Amino acid sequence: MTNVDPQIFRWLLVLVLVLNLTISGYHRNRARSKETIPRSAESLSLRLFRVALALPALLLMLAFVIYPPWIDWSSLAIPVWSRWFGVLLGLAVAPLNVWVLRSLGKNVSETVLTKESHALVQAGPYRWVRHPLYTSGFLMFGGVSLLAANWLMAALTLCAIVLFSVVVIPREEAELVAKFGDRYAAYRRQSGRLLPRLVPARS
């Protein structure tokens, strides 16, 4: 196990990304055929925020796959078993993504805005968690950070969790409250934001 060729992790990162992006793309394309909200409908600040988070992560992953020495300065000395755990985590996200996206159905949106025909989904993982799609994304990038043994990828993942919790999710939930009113408020008290709530919130 200690003599594993490090090159294999480059191909495993590609496998994790291709698998999860294919699942996401398939379900998002199906949802777009019903109703689409263009990215341009969001505020410019929110679109720039997404790019500012996504671009560095994308460049880091591309560098790791194309020529790892470019990012040796951000390498993290961790045991090989933890890199394999990152592979398993990244692959395990795939069935979770299928579950989440199938539960969402036509309600998948590219923005924080709600569709005209938007339904309040409380089935599947949405029974316990309000934003499991974000959770699965964070788990995937956490797994990628481990398999790549890269502290900067891990730092970007942690930053994304914090910033999405502070910037994106509150805006998205404000849209949902505006559309569903007390129904969403009651659902929010019973469910967790990114992880299941252990104790229901008080009214």
Question: Rounded to two decimals, what is the model's pTM?
Answer: 0.91
Rounded Cα–Cα distance for residues 143 and 86 (Å): 4
| pLDDT in the model for residue 32 | 78
Rounded Cα–Cα distance for residues 148 and 75 (Å): 8
Rounded Cα–Cα distance for residues 187 and 111 (Å): 21
Rounded Cα–Cα distance for residues 10 and 149 (Å): 11
Contact 86, 16 (CB under 8 A): no
Is residue 200 over pLDDT 70?
Answer: no
Rounded Cα–Cα distance for residues 88 and 85 (Å): 5
pLDDT, tens only, 149-185: 999 999 999 999 999 999 999 999 999 999 999 999 9
**What is the residue extent of each domain of the chain?**
7-190
User: 7-190, which class in CATH?
Assistant: mainly alpha
Rounded Cα–Cα distance for residues 45 and 171 (Å): 12
Rounded Cα–Cα distance for residues 84 and 58 (Å): 21
pLDDT band at 2 (very low <50, low <70, confident <90, very high): low
